[in-house]
Amino acid sequence: MQKLKDFVELTKPRQTALLLLTMFSAYFIAGGPLDPLMLAKLAVMGFASVGGVTALNMYLDADIDSVMKRTSKRPLPAGRLSPKETSFLSTLLIVLGATVASTINEYVLFAVLAGLYFDIVGYTELTKRFTPLSIVFGSIAGVMPALGGWAAGAGAITLPGILLAGVIYAWQPLHVWFLAYAAEEDYRKAGVPVASLKYGPRLFSALVLLHLLIMIASVWGIVYLLGFGLMTALVSSVFIVLAMVRVVSFYKNPSKQEAFKIFKFATPTLAIVYLILPMERLALVFL
């Protein structure tokens, strides 16, 4: 039983759950039907592909995780799982995710493979240890579950789906950079360069504010193209503006405590879009 728990922990269940939320939400926003077989395929494909890539990341970053206090108790650095077990599980999950994706359509398969490439190659292998702007590639990987969900529902990758994925892309610096600032000692000890530490609190805060403006623009662009979602845009804008107020406060008086609070506020700022917009889509169908 402990081994099973450790295998599940490799997939970062909370992070995976958030990404699966974006996938299923995008599917319904695109008009995907309540087809049990399709929903089952998405569940298996989503968990296997996201969880597999996450587990492979843990395999490749075991040396970093072992020196960071926040991650040192994960199954691999703690010795509860071996590198061979971790690599086998991650490979199995990735192959399963890609196989199921191929039975949906080629656009969903593209999203799965692109997520694998940008996360493992673009982010983990080529940029994470070498440049503070590695999030450029990591953020691309983070949008792929939503893009895959849209492709499953719409049968193609279209502009509204790209904008929906763009909401996640613009959101990620708020999530990642403020966590890194709050956990500064860990990142410096591991030798991982991050923009929030390399560029200083004021410059990276300004970059986050720019991304949040793009996030608002993306939400309203989606509403305009889809012809519904006014409630989503209004509520989302309130949350994004509140996040911007917090970032401005941090800009004036930087602290690790405030950075962690902003990091915690980041998740609902994104989730609100992916919770309300599909409900507005369903309301159009049933009302």
pTM: 0.94
Q: What pLDDT, on the 0 to 100 scale, is given for residue 115?
A: 96
- Token pair for residue 87? 């690599």
Cα separation values, 190 from 5, 62, 63, 193, Å: 26, 11, 8, 9
The yes or no reply on domain 158-287 and CATH 1.20.120 is: yes
What is the per-residue pLDDT across 232-263, written as a single tens digit (0 to 9) for each?
999 999 999 999 999 999 999 999 999 999 99
User: What letters, b where the CB count within 10 A reaches 16 and e where it falls short, cover 17-53?
Assistant: ebbbbbbbbbbbbbebeeeeeebebbeebbbbbbbbb
Q: What pLDDT, on the 0 to 100 scale, is given for residue 2?
A: 80
Percent of the chain surpassing pLDDT 70? 100
Percent of the chain surpassing pLDDT 90? 84
Q: What pLDDT, on the 0 to 100 scale, is given for residue 283?
A: 87
Domain ranges of the chain: 1-156, 158-287
C-alpha 105: how far from chain center: 22
What is the per-residue pLDDT across 37-82, written as a single tens digit (0 to 9) for each?
999 999 999 999 999 999 999 999 999 999 998 888 998 888 898 9
Average pLDDT over residues 131-138: 90
Q: What pLDDT, on the 0 to 100 scale, is given for residue 287?
A: 67
Q: Which CATH architecture has domain 1-156?
A: Orthogonal Bundle (1.10)
- Rounded Cα distance between 157 and 166, Å, is 13
Q: DSSP readout, 174-218?
A: HHHHHHHHHTHHHHHHHT---HHHHS-HHHHHHHHHHHHHHHHHH
Average pLDDT over residues 172-180: 94
What is the per-residue pLDDT across 187-216, written as a single tens digit (0 to 9) for each?
999 899 998 888 989 999 999 999 999 999
